[in-house]
Structure 1
Amino acid sequence: MVAVETLLIGVHDGHLTYRAAEESLADNEHPDAAARRLAGFGPPFGPPFGPPVNGRLIHSTSWRFDGGRIVLTYAALPDPDPATAQRFPALGATTATGTALNPSPPHVDRADVIAHAARHLAFLHRTDPAVAEAALEHPPLWALLDAYQPDVAGPVRPLR
């Protein structure tokens, strides 16, 4: 079984917020479409790789094995209703780590997933022109996300 989890990320009263929406992936539904639907963003706008509209962004940030199923996590922003959301975990929240032969940790907390998504978005803000363009529409949100150490799913550095 596969589930799609969408973390709607926003800002309220100067703090990052999130709401999580999750459901099992329906037969023949693309995970991206499920993430958009869970975010309430509707169908994609324009061509598949067109510019962001109103600063909206959905990005696949991680996956994990949880309770006998694979959970695909997407970050969606900006949250259209951040006042009803929860505050982000404190900056510097723990991060799940595995080992070389067991890369998946035995348990992944929601705080781990949220922190990873924030670091991933901070990385994309610095490296992806489409994300940088979307960020122009929501400077307070992206300023808070940029406080996270930019990262991807593993270290990016030369081996030598």
Structure 2
Amino acid sequence: MRGARLTYRVSEHRLDGDVHPDEVARRLAGSGQVDVLHSTSWRFEAGRIVLTYVALPDPDPHDATDLDPATGIVSGDDPLSPSPAHVERTAVAAHACRHLAFLRHTDPLVAGAALRQPRLWALLDGFRPTVAGALR
């Protein structure tokens, strides 16, 4: 979050051995003021599965990129191939925001986090709550 703009940044790490992805996400989020850590999506990319987590609020907001709530939903061009050929990081971040906006109304833990960070969640309200590709 930067002023009245929602921002995002990307941290990446390969999974090693039997380390659970949640543990890796916790390490990447650090020991800052993270109130919510949630897995929001997965996709196949360059021969590997990529898991996406969101950590709120951002424990290290430096070098973050602004995120526009008008960022659209991406999908494949064929009903039997739902995955798009390429997914921009901005689309992944926007999907995570829509996912959290939905969870705010369905998950008591996320709803509690929203109460603790009202400015941040007011910005998330700008993203139309949706489940993965179900609503357009």
TM-score normalised by length of structure 1: 0.77
- How many equivalent pairs are there? 134
Cα deviation code 1:18-69 (max 9, x no counterpart): 1110011111000011111111148xxxxxxxxxxx6611111111111221
Q: Percent identity?
A: 56
Quick check: 2:8–2:65 contact (8 Å CA) kept in 1?
yes
TM-score normalised by length of structure 2: 0.90
Which residue of the other structure, out of 123, 127, 132, is the alignment partner of 1:148?
127
Other-structure match for 1:22: 12
Distance 1:113 1:152 in 2: 13
Q: For residues 55 and 81 of structure 1, do their structure 2 counterparts lie closer, same or farther at Cα, with a shift above 3 Å needed?
A: closer
Where in structure 2 are there 5+ consecutive unaligned residues? none
Distance 2:11 2:19 in 1: 16
Distance 1:86 1:40 in 2: 19
Other-structure match for 2:113: 134
Distance 1:91 1:55 in 2: 22
Distance 1:91 1:77 in 2: 17
| Higher strand residue share | 1
Distance 2:18 2:34 in 1: 28
Other-structure match for 2:38: 59
What displacement does 1:103 show? 1.5
Quick check: 1:94–1:111 contact (8 Å CA) kept in 2?
no
Q: For residues 55 and 72 of structure 1, do their structure 2 counterparts lie closer, same or farther at Cα, with a shift above 3 Å needed?
A: closer
Where in structure 1 are there 5+ consecutive unaligned residues? 1-10, 43-53
Amino acid at match of 1:19: R
What displacement does 1:75 show? 0.6
Q: For residues 55 and 67 of structure 1, do their structure 2 counterparts lie closer, same or farther at Cα, with a shift above 3 Å needed?
A: closer
Distance 2:35 2:13 in 1: 21
Alignment of 1:1-160 (within 5 A): 11-41=1-31, 56-88=35-67, 90-98=68-76, 99-155=78-134
What is the root-mean-square deviation of aligned Cα atoms in Å? 1.7
Aligned to 1:147, the other structure's residue is in SS state coil
Runs of 4+ residues over 4 Å off in structure 1: none
